[in-house]
Chains A and B, each alone.
Chain A
């Protein structure tokens, strides 16, 4: 069974500083997603990473994928308040299932 681990689970960020969220997964996969969820809301797709070495950037967020290390990172540059949310990584296994990490709850303080 594919296991997906995120860390940290909680992240208190100071505005203007940089932070990284890590996502490790247990079996081979070359398709990884990052989602954002605001409290009481649904999941919003942020990035799809499809190959080793893939890097995607959108605004202050940048995601990368290392399939050999089975590791993805979500880097936040110069955090701002509206980035407060819970971030999930999710990985496809061979049987069409998307397995989610437990989520990283981000709070950005002034």
Chain B
């Protein structure tokens, strides 16, 4: 019974490059959430997706960030032209239904040099 899977676990990028973070939800879960965690802080909501739909992206910066959850395959969080301030841990969570318990993946730790 695999949990939420994220890859890569660690990602190093130079300023201006693109970062692609992947998330496979738990089996049977169709609701995916992305969060960002800065050191010594709590998690900040970024985006909530269902299959092929973005439900709420109010926590995601308008520029350079995008997310998708295609019909087939994992959810992708894409950060274009990364800057040092993008360095953080990015967590994906999934739930079986809205307002259900969210189960978290191991996170992707992004470091921008």
Contacts and interface: CB of A to CB of B under 8 A. Distances in A.
Interface of A: 4, 31, 33, 35, 41-45, 48, 88, 90, 92, 95-103
A99 B56 CA distance: 14
Contacts of B44: 100
Contact of A42 (B55, B101, B107): B107
A42 B33 contact: no
Please tell me the size bucket of the interface on B: 20 to 34
Contacts of A88: 42-43
A42 B45 contact: no
A98 B45 contact: yes
A103 B45 contact: no
Nearest to A41: B106
Contact of A45 (B55, B59, B101): B101
14 contacts: A4-B42, A41-B106, A42-B104, A42-B107, A43-B91, A88-B42, A95-B56, A96-B48, A96-B99, A97-B58, A100-B43, A100-B44, A101-B42, A103-B42
Would you call the interface of chain A mostly helix, strand, loop, or mixed? strand
Given A31-B99, A92-B99, A98-B33, A42 B105 contact: yes
Nearest 7 A/B pairs, CB to CB: A100-B42, A43-B104, A100-B43, A42-B106, A102-B42, A42-B104, A97-B45
B77 to A, nearest CB: 16
B103 interface: yes
A102 B41 CA distance: 5
A96 B103 contact: no
Interface in B33-91: 33, 35, 41-45, 48, 55-56, 58-59, 91
Nearest to A44: B104
B102 interface: yes
B8 interface: no
A83 B69 CA distance: 36
Contacts of B104: 35, 42-45
